[in-house]
Structure 1
Amino acid sequence: MRIEEILQRIEKKNLKKIVQAISIPRHGCYNYESLSLVAKFIEEHFKEYGYFVDFNQFYYSGREYKNIVATLKGINSSKEWILIGAHYDSAMGSPGADDNASGIAVMLEVARIIREIPIAERIKFVAFTLEEPQAFDLKFIIRSSQFVKKFKKLGHRYKALILESVGYYSDVKGSQKLPAFTRGPDVGNFLGVVGNGKSNALLELFEKVKEYVPSINLITYKAPMNGWLALETRFSDHAPFWDAGFQAVMLTDTAMFRNPYYHTSQDTPDKLNFSFMEDVTKALLVAVLISPA
C-alpha cells in the first residue's frame, strides 16, 4: 500500500472524538478514579484494534498505577522497538485536552491505521502515567523513568517518538514564545520535533517527512547538552530515553510556550485545531513508514 493511500485512512473525527472523551481532570493524586477510567478507555481501544495489551504496573503513594503497553505480538516478542508514547494523566485542575489528550488521540489513531502493515510488528505503543508533577513532592515523569530502567535491564532497545501536547495552533504573530537560549519563529503554527545529540538520525528522519506532508510546518531542534541548557526541552517522557542512551524525540506544539490555557481549567477541546492534529498524525505515520529497518 502506498504512503498516500495510508494517510487517506486518517479520520479527523476520530481524533476529536477521543479528545472529547478523555478531556476530564485526571491528575494522578486528585482524580485517581477518573485517571483509571481513562486508562480503561485506552486499553479498550487498543484491544479493539487487535493489539495485545500489557500493563507496566507500580505503586506510588500507596496506590497502583500502570503504563498501558500495546503490541501486535506481545511485549516480549522483540527487543528492538520503535516506541510511540504519550502520557494520559493531566495537570492538577485541568481537563488536559492539549496536555495530553491530543497526544493520546494521535497515538491511538496511528495504532488503528498501521495495525495491518508489517512494520506494526516492530512498534510498541505506550500510554504513560504520572508524567505531570505530583502533589506534595512535585516529582514528574515518574512512570516513563521506571519503564525505561526496567526494560533496558531486560535488554530492550528503543527509538522513541513521544507525543506531548500536539493540538494547539495559532497563526497570530507573537503567539509563539521560546525557551531561553533557543531561536525560532514567533508564530505558533508549527510542529516542533525536539531531539538530543544522539537522536540525529530521528531528526533527519523528520526532515524527510516534510516531503510527504507539505501541509505541516515542521521544525526540528537539537537540544544541546542533553537538554540541560534549556530544561523545558526535557519536560516530557522522552527525557528518560535520552538519559538511558536511546534515540528519542518529542513531538510538540511547545505547550506552555504557545498555549495560554496550558495547565489550566480552560485546556478544553474547543481550543484545539483538529486539522493540525490530522497533519501531526500524518507526520508520525510517515516517520514510522519510512524509518529504516
Structure 2
Amino acid sequence: MRTEIQNNLKKTVYVLARDIGSRGYLQTDALNRTIDYITSELRTYGYAVLEQPCEYRGRTYKNIYVEKKGIKDPGEIFVVGAHYDTVTGSPGADDNASAVAGLLELARLLADKPLARTLHFVAFTLEEPPLFRSRKMGSYVYAESLKRAGRDVRGMICLEMIGYFTDTPDSQLFPLPFMRWVYPDKGNFIALVSNLRSRGFLKSVRRGFRKGTDLPAESLTTVFMVPGVDFSDHRSFWKFSYEALMVTDTAFYRNPHYHSGGDVPETLDYERLTEVVMGLKAAIEGVAGE
C-alpha cells in the first residue's frame, strides 16, 4: 500500500510543480490546468466533482470539492482541505502541491470506506497573497457558505506544506525562543496546530494519527499572537467559529525554499509524506467514525 501511495503522491507533486509550475492568481492557464487535473483525479476515484466560484477583480476562480456522505450521521461534516495556488514565480512543490497530493490520496483511500459522518474534500483557490487573510480567499468563501447554510461542521483539517523533512540538527526554527526547549531541533516531524477552541478536536486527530504511523507528530494549541499559527486556510474556519487545525511541516520555520523558485519536487521527502497520509487516513477514520 505505501509504495502505491508514495508513487501517487510523487506523480501529483511533479504534475503540479514541474509540468504546470507556478500557479499564481494571475496565471489563469496554470490554475485551469490544475483544476482540470484535480477534477480528473477525483472523478477517477468515483466522486461527483463540484465547483464553487470565487470572484476577484472581475475574474472567476474556483474551489473544487467533493462530498462523501456519511452512512449514520450524514448531517455531521468534517472538511479536509488544501489550497492549490502558489505565489507567482514559485513551482510550489511543498507549498502546496504536497498538500494537494495528500488531499487527493486521502480522497482515493477513503472513497469506498463506509464512515458514519460526511466528509468534504476541498481544493481551495486564492490562499496566497495578495488574497491571504482576506474575505476573497477560497477557504473563506467556502466556510462562509457552510455557515450560511447552517451546516453542522464538526471539524476542519487544513493541509499546508506537508512534504519537507530533514534530520539535520538545528534545522527546525520556532516563532518564539522558548519553543526550542519544548520541541525537537530537527525538522523531522509533522506539526498539528490549533486554536484554543479546537484543542479537543486536535487531541482526537493526534490520537488517530499516531495509530496510523510512527512518524513523530508534535502539537501546538495556542492563540493568534504566535506568528504563523494562522497562516493557512484553517484561519477562515476559525473566523466562523468552526473547530479547525493545520497539519504542516512548519513552512518557513524549516523549509529554506519557501515562496521561492527553489520549491521544486526534488526537495521533498516522499517516504515521510506517505507517512503523513497514513496518519491522516487513520485520524479521519477515527473522527468520522468507521
Do Structure 1 and Structure 2 share a fold, with TM-score over 0.5? yes
* Equivalent AA in structure 1 for residue 227 of structure 2: L
**Of 88-97 and 112-121, the range deviating more from structure 2:** 112-121
| Deviation, structure 1 residue 119 | 1.4
Tell me, yes or no, if the aligned pair for 1:210 and 1:216 is still in contact at 8 Å: no
Q: CA RMSD in A?
A: 2.2
User: Within the alignment, does 1:18 sit opposite 2:15 as a pair?
Assistant: no
User: Within the alignment, does 1:61 sit opposite 2:60 as a pair?
Assistant: no
| 2:201 paired residue number | 202
Distance in 2 (alpha carbons) for counterparts of 1:120 and 1:34: 37
Q: 1:140 to 1:167 in 2, by over 3 A?
A: farther
Q: 1:243 to 1:139 in 2, by over 3 A?
A: closer
Task: Give matches, 1:97-246, under 5 Å.
Answer: 97-119=93-115, 122-134=118-130, 142-158=137-153, 159-180=155-176, 183=179, 184-209=183-208, 211-224=210-223, 228-246=224-242
| Deviation, structure 1 residue 179 | 1.3
- Stretches of structure 1 lacking an aligned partner (at least 5 in a row): 1-6
Deviations 1:229-277 (A, max 9, x none): 1131111000111121111110000001100000000100000000110
Does the residue aligned with 2:40 lie in a helix, a strand or coil? helix
Distance in 1 (alpha carbons) for counterparts of 2:128 and 2:135: 5
- What's the TM-score, normalizing by structure 2? 0.90
Distance in 2 (alpha carbons) for counterparts of 1:219 and 1:178: 13
- Stretches of structure 2 lacking an aligned partner (at least 5 in a row): none
* Equivalent AA in structure 2 for residue 22 of structure 1: L
Deviations 1:36-76 (A, max 9, x none): 110111011111111111111021111110100112359xx
* Equivalent AA in structure 2 for residue 45 of structure 1: E
Does the residue aligned with 2:219 lie in a helix, a strand or coil? strand
| 1:41 paired residue number | 37
Identity across aligned pairs (percent)?
34
- Which of 24, 28, 33 matches 1:27? 24
* Equivalent AA in structure 1 for residue 33 of structure 2: L
| Deviation, structure 1 residue 167 | 0.3
- What's the TM-score, normalizing by structure 1? 0.89
Tell me, yes or no, if the aligned pair for 1:90 and 1:132 is still in contact at 8 Å: yes
Task: Give matches, 1:269-284, under 5 Å.
Answer: 269-284=265-280
| Deviation, structure 1 residue 139 | 5.1
**Of 178-187 and 256-265, the range deviating more from structure 2:** 178-187
Deviations 1:180-236 (A, max 9, x none): 366122210000000111112222113323542452010011022xxx211311110
Distance in 1 (alpha carbons) for counterparts of 2:216 and 2:122: 26
User: Within the alignment, does 1:287 sit opposite 2:283 as a pair?
Assistant: yes
Tell me, yes or no, if the aligned pair for 2:90 and 2:261 is still in contact at 8 Å: yes
Distance in 1 (alpha carbons) for counterparts of 2:166 and 2:104: 24
**Of 161-170 and 197-206, the range deviating more from structure 2:** 197-206
